[in-house]
Amino acid sequence: MKLMPKIGIDGRYAEGRLTGIGKYIKGLVGELAGQGLIVVIFYSKKPLENINGKNIIPIILQTRNRYVFEQILLPLALKREKVNLFHEPGNLGIPFFCPCPSVLTVHDIIPLLVNDYFKKSPWQRLSKASYSLRLLISLLKAKQILTDSKFTQNSLMRKFSFVKNKTTVISPGIFCSKEERNWLPMGIKPGNFILNQGGIDKRKNLLKLINAFALIKHEFPKLKLVITGENPSLETELKKASRDLKIEKKVLFTGYLAEDKLWSLVKKAACICLPSEIEGFGMPVLEGFVAKVPVITSNNSSLEEISKGAAFLIDPAKVENIAQGLKKILGSKRLREELIKKGFDRAAKFSWPQTSKKILEIYEKIWLEENES
């Protein structure tokens, strides 16, 4: 892409351990740089995991203040580095005085869709107002808005009707670790565990998953439940629930796992179960598909859309329905094989080369419009 050699990327979600948006940034940057574009990643601190490669330039704009980063340091750096187009991949954060055209990726607007989302904040109203203002500025300033799913696109348009004509659905690719590792946590055997690798959060519905697992434990006595991710306060609550149900020895919390360990776990699971209350996309579903593991997930938000008949759908509001789904998958070899085939075929439609090609077309369109005006 000779017309536009330099792209700026907000790298703040890739500063810590790479999950969710961090993986999106890594996948996007790798593909763009591989196409010959110069990619400048702007961080607010030194990242734990560097995204390295030819044509990739990391720049640290040291600050702990998100507003200073977005509204002062970032626009100055974009101008100084002569960035041709800025891509904000983290839902919000485009500077009001952005010196170049910008693209925004909105993975979800869950804070505006879930009641009491800001409940734990000491300044609930202020936190919600701040989020809403930063999102509004970003939506107004963006030349084009990308969403991971039609669900997020529709949610966005219902809340902000003015975005209708500049919103495009471009789903992310599957970030599959190339490193193979024959690893499982102690006491866990291949094919004898249910896996939830969606992270520990209230909306992930893990309490109901644990209760559903307790309902089927007698039918599958060797089976265990493995939950990955970090959230100390919620994990304490979930562990207590496991103790109360007398299944604490059958429920394992692994904490954060590096990609090679995570993929080893995914590939050896009896099934993936993601009974989330709401998701903007649902990458764990696709991870199960590509690993040839049957997937159980919710019949809501983006999950039905992404799985498109390749997963077993359950009602996440009903513990009994989750348990019933687990029993059907675990008890039927024929159903498992059917879902594995459908899932693997479905996963082929989500790859970073395909995703980056569509995003590059958006960049080119914006660049041509800017240079014609």
- Map out the domains of the chain with their CATH numbers: 6-173+351-372 (3.40.50.2000), 193-347 (3.40.50.2000)
Instruction: Tell me which residue of 328, 186, 342, 354 sits closest to 271, measured CA to CA.
Output: 328
pLDDT for position 178: 60
Low pLDDT (below 50) residues in the chain: 1-2
Q: Which residues is 168 bridged to in the sheet?
A: 146
Instruction: Tell me which residue of 358, 178, 203, 338 sits closest to 280, measured CA to CA.
Output: 203
Distance (Å, rounded) from C-alpha 327 to C-alpha 310? 17
Q: Which residues is 7 bridged to in the sheet?
A: 39, 85
pLDDT for position 3: 54
Asked if 46 contacts 63 with a C-beta cutoff of 8 angstroms, the reply is: no
β-pairing, 295-298 with 271-274? parallel
Q: Which residues contact 118 (CB under 8 A, 6 or more apart)?
A: 111, 124, 125, 127, 128, 131
**Residues 261-319 pLDDT 10s:** 999 999 999 999 999 999 999 999 999 999 999 999 999 999 999 999 999 999 999 99
pLDDT for position 1: 46
Amino acid at 39: V
pLDDT for position 124: 86
pLDDT for position 131: 93
